[in-house]
Amino acid sequence: MTASDQIKDTVTNNTVVLFMKGTKTMPQCGFSSRVAGVLNFMGIEYTDVNVLADDTVRQGIKDYSDWPTIPQLYVKGEFVGGCDIITEMTLSGELDTLLKENGIAFDQAAADKIREANG
């Protein structure tokens, strides 16, 4: 299986996927930590893929999405964005809307707290 096949399989067979440096419990870069922190705080169930564990996946995800940076968040097989986009979507409420539209459970009070703390 090629890296592209492996990535496609992962994003299509999991509802929410975060390609990141490190893991959801031990992020290994600030940007990955920020996105994982948001997802964890909001109680979103997601699959984490540590790109540091496999160089072919690390480059493969950039090619797959045509996006040059990591982390990368996917919801229902669709690329959502990286750290800056997820941060903006969280603060604007767009992430809440995306999650609701896709039937993904999350803690609304936690999402509101993030906005309150950064407003």
Which residue ranges make up the annotated binding site for [2Fe-2S] cluster?
29
Nearest one of 4, 37, 36, 5 to 20, comparing CA atoms: 36
Q: Are 78 and 5 in contact (CB under 8 A)?
A: no
| Phi (first) and psi of residue 17, to 5 degrees | -130, 135
Residues facing residue 17 across a β-bridge? 47, 74
